[in-house]
Amino acid sequence: MDSVKIALTVNGRRHEREVEPRRLLSDFLREDLRLTGTHLACEHGVCGSCTILMNGQTARSCLTFAVMADGAEITTIEGLGSVENMHPLQAAFWEKHGLQCGFCTPGMLMSALELLRENPDASSEEIHQALAGNLCRCTGYQTIVEAVEAAAETMRGAER
């Protein structure tokens, strides 16, 4: 049960810490690094609210031990944009009412980010599928899908 030394990059900043092997990456981010934008609901993989990017790909931070992220590059919602400088996805969620309580939003955004990076022209059906692992108890999903469609349009425009 000895602590293990890990070094990882989170939102471009390098961190070195000692962690117990059972420390979940989600708790490491929220409690050790105080990055509380990553939300935790079910803590067993079903809701998606804890979704982060690990080496550029989405992962459930509640199903990852911090020791497994040794050497990894992590992006959390805090790395996506700021209030002053919102990512097109964040701006679109605001515009289109893609959130109500906002609990699911960080995970939604990370999943949508991976989708639009790989498939900038994602159809409504593809957006539905890509977000099927992220649960929302408030919105009924319609506005979330519209927000991702709107963000995709902005992001396509920005590339031209």
Partner 1 sequence: MKPAPFDYVRADSVEGALSALAEQPEARVLAGGQSLIAMMNLRLLKPGCLIDINRLSELDYIRAEGDELAIGALTRHTAAATSPLVAEHCPLMTAAYGHIANRAVRNRGTVGGNLCHADPASENPAVAIASGATLVLTSLDGERRIAAEDFFLSLYETAAEQNELLTEIRIPKAPANQGWSFQEVSTRKGDFALVGVAATLDCPNGTCSDARVVAVGVGERAERLGAAETAIKGAVVDEAGLAAAAAAARDAVDPPSDFHADSEFRRDLVFTLTRRALGEAHGRCGKGG
Q: Per DSSP, what are the bridge partners of residue 59? A: 52
Q: Choose the stretch contacting partner 1; rule: CB under 8 A; options: 9-17, 60-68, 77-85, 139-147.
A: 60-68
Structure tokens at 129: 């599928």
CA distance 22 to 29: 14
For the chain, the straight-line distance linking the first and the last C-alpha, in angstroms and rounded, comes to 53
The Cα diameter of the chain in Å comes to 53
For residue 101, the partner it binds in ligand FES, ligand FAD, partner 1, none, with Cβ less than 5 to 8 A by kind, is ligand FES
Q: Choose the stretch contacting ligand FES; rule: CB under 6 A; options: 27-35, 96-104, 120-128, 151-159.
A: 96-104
CA distance 115 to 109: 10
The CB-nearest residue to ligand FAD is 45
Q: How far is the CB of 156 from partner 1 (least distance, A)?
A: 21
Query: How many residues touch ligand FAD (CB under 6 A)?
Result: 2
CA distance 33 to 53: 16
3-state secondary structure of 69: helix
Site for partner 1, rule CB under 8 A: 1-2, 4, 20-22, 24, 27, 43-45, 48, 51, 54, 57-60, 62-65, 67-68, 111, 114-115, 128-130, 132-134
Site for ligand FES, rule CB under 6 A: 40-43, 45-50, 60, 62, 99-104, 136-139
